[in-house]
Amino acid sequence: MSEKKTKRKYRYRKPVNWVFLLVLITAFQIFCACQILLNGGEKLNDTTIYIVFGSYIIVEWVYFTVFAGVLRRKSFEVELIAFFLSGIGLALTTSVYPDKAYTQLIAVFLGIAVFIVLLWILSDIDRVIKLRIPVAVISIAALVFTLIFAKEINGARNWIIIGDGLLSIQTSEVVKVAFIFVGAATLESLQSTKLLTKYIIFALGCIGLLFLMKDFGTALIFFFTFIIIAFLRSGDIKTIFLICTGALMGGLGVLTFKPYVAKRFETYRHVWEFADGKGYQQVKLLIYSVSGGLFGLGLGNGKLRGVYAATEDLAFGMVCEEFGMIIAFTVLLTFVALVAYSIRYSVAARSSFYAISACAASALLLFQTALHVFGVTDLLPWTGVTLPFISRGGSSMMCCWGLVAIIKAIDVKTYKRYDKIIKN
């Protein structure tokens, strides 16, 4: 694409008014803090609320001030979405588990750090290509280590516990970023049989290890991401169809010869029959989530918070009950917006790596959101995957910020050296 055509393409793509949107997001977060203070009860320490929300809002404004005012960056759509969703997750965690508010706040700050560092790494395509093999080796090694030494929680061996529960790491979340990074970098140049074979071996290795860990939800997310990356690079629907058919037959074979796997999904479409057992969480979610109406019951007033893993596995239900359907649907639309953003800017990406990786990262977030929402509402089998940015968890939070860094890197206006070529 010529420079003249590129200028024309970007002429009407003006950046959003980030100051106005940031003021709205900040006002929303202050409103959330006030609700927690009013409805928090005796166990809540008011000082915790002031420190947690005050620190978060300050970091928000410092980030935008530095990158917009000092570094002269222009496009902030992705960061606004990430800060908005992270704020909701921080509010839910602080409201339900005040003693874990600081941990979640640190996780958000670490996520922002991951975002900034990864943006720098992605600025140089040569650096990306050089790192793909080390990242692939480290990722496989981390999953193997987890399979051997991880502690089994809720039927899956995917948590590394350090220091008698002081620190826990879910390696599969970290490998999500690496999976896209390696896949897009490996297929960045014109596709060859050798490159494709390397990526297939890496992808099957990751998915197979996740399956052995019994982390079926994450394995499904990885497989979906593999399909997206393969399709974006090849464009061959027949090959993708054959891969999906093979995966389906393999899944049916596993369910036939490993019946204990099928038992994990026996409540699907039958949650009311297991209301006092395996379907308890979903039944409570279906009952309580609709009680929030359009505007919600308010933070601290919901009943779903009393159910086990409410801020993790049932996060969307909590958003519906305490924030209301308007905020809940806004959350869903933000993930759709990330996909639209990736597709929109892929036509002017500096190389195929940025187009493939951004579209794969946004599709992964949307697919994971769909698995979470449709799973807890019994429209799909419940796999226990988290709601990106909102479900409590440090590994998940850092992964999500890493994924949005990959999405943001697709826009040439992210980096000043390329922004000099393209002017609005």
Cα separations in angstroms, 343 against 189, 349, 364: 20, 10, 14
Please state which of the ranges 157-171, 275-289, 303-317, 367-381 shows the lowest mean pLDDT: 157-171
Which of these ranges, 24-38, 39-53, 57-71, 388-402, has the smallest mean pLDDT?
39-53
110 close to 398: Cβ distance less than 8 angstroms:
yes
% residues pLDDT > 90 (the chain): 37
Q: What is the mean pLDDT of residues 287-294?
A: 86
- Dump the DSSP string for 10-75: HTT-PPP-HHHHHHHHHHHHHHHHHHHHHH--TT--HHHHHHHHHHHHHHHHHHHIIIIIIS----
Task: Specify the pLDDT at position 41.
Answer: 61
Q: What is the pLDDT of residues 149-176, one digit of tens each?
A: 877 776 667 777 776 655 778 888 889 9
pLDDT per position as a tens digit, 195-230: 677 788 888 888 888 888 888 888 888 888 888 887
Segment 88-99 shows an average pLDDT of 92
pLDDT above 80 (res 9):
no
Least confident of 106-110, 119-123, 255-259, 303-307: 255-259
What pLDDT shows up at residue 1?
41
Other beta carbons less than 10 A from residue 15's beta carbon:
14
Q: Tell me the average pLDDT of the chain.
A: 83
- More confidently predicted of 252 and 215: 215
Model confidence at 360, pLDDT cuts 50, 70, 90, reads: very high
Burial profile 42-68: b = 16 or more Cβ within 10 angstroms, e = fewer: eebeeebbeebbeebbeebeebbeebb
pLDDT of residue 238: 60
pLDDT at 25: 96
CA–CA separation, 404 and 98 (whole Å) = 27
Q: Tokens 């697709």 appear where?
A: 410
pLDDT of 104: 93
Q: Which strands, in side-by-side order, build the sheet including 151-153?
A: 151-153, 156-162, 167-169
Weakest mean pLDDT among 79-88, 189-198, 288-297: 189-198
Residues 291-302 have a mean pLDDT of 88
pLDDT of residue 106: 94
Q: How many CB atoms lie within 10 A of CB 281?
A: 21
**Can you give the pLDDT at residue 267?**
72
Distance CA 202, CA 223 (A): 12
Output 260 or 105, whichever has higher pLDDT. Answer: 105
- Asked if residue 247 lies in contact with residue 267, where contact means CB atoms within 8 angstroms, the answer is no
- For residue 12, the model assigns a pLDDT of 42
Residue 415 confidence class, pLDDT cut points 50, 70, 90? confident
What is the three-class DSSP state of 209?
Answer: helix
The residue written with tokens 């990959």 in the block is 406
For residue 65, pLDDT over 70 is answered with yes
Asked if residue 293 has pLDDT above 60, the reply is yes
Let me know: does 160 contact 149? Beta carbons within 8 Å.
yes
State the Cα–Cα distance between residues 101 and 210, nearest whole angstrom.
30
- Under DSSP, the state recorded for 14 is P
Half-sphere exposure of 368 (CA within 13 A, CB side): 29
Q: What backbone phi and psi angles, to 5 degrees, belong to 109?
A: -65, -40
Given CA atoms 344, 61, 335, 31 in this order, what sign does their dihedral have?
A: negative
pLDDT score at 424: 45
pLDDT score of 235: 62
3-class DSSP assignment, residue 290: helix
Q: In the predicted model, what is the mean pLDDT of residues 24-51?
A: 86
Residue 263 to residue 175: CA distance in whole angstroms: 27
Strand partners, 167: 162
For the entire predicted model, the pTM comes to 0.89
pLDDT at residue 149 in the model: 82
Exposed, middle or buried: residue 278 (CB in 10 Å: 0-12, 13-18, 19+)? middle
Please report which confidence band the pLDDT of residue 135 belongs to, taking 50, 70 and 90 as the band edges: very high
Residues 372, 312 contacting (CB under 8 angstroms): no
